[in-house]
Amino acid sequence: MEKDTVFASPIEKKFEFDSAVAAVFDDMLSRSVPFYDEVRRLIISLILSDAREGMRVLDLGSSTAKFLLDLHSKSHLSMQLTGIDNSPAMLERAQQKCHAFGADITLELADMLTYDFGKEDVIVANYTLQFIRPLQRTSLVKRIADALEEDGMFIFSEKVVFEEKKLDKQMIDIYYAYKRSQGYSEYEIAQKREALENVLVPFTIEENIRMCKEAGFSRVDTIFQWANFVTFVAKK
Q: Render 85-99 in DSSP notation, one character per residue.
A: ES-HHHHHHHHHHHH
Residue ranges of the domains in the chain?
19-235
Q: What is the pLDDT along the chain (236 residues), one digit of tens a residue?
A: 445 343 344 445 443 445 554 455 567 677 788 999 999 999 999 999 999 999 999 999 999 999 999 999 999 999 999 999 999 988 998 999 999 999 999 999 999 999 999 999 999 999 999 999 999 999 999 999 999 999 999 999 999 999 999 999 999 999 999 988 988 777 676 777 777 666 789 999 999 999 999 999 999 999 999 999 999 999 98
pTM: 0.86
Considering the four listed CATH numbers 3.90.78.10, 3.90.850.10, 3.60.20.10, 3.40.50.150, the one that applies to the domain covering 19-235 is 3.40.50.150
**How many Cα neighbours within 13 Å face the side chain of 207?**
16
CB atoms within 10 A of CB 189: 17
Q: Which segments within 89-204 are labelled E, that is strand?
A: 106-109, 120-126, 148-159
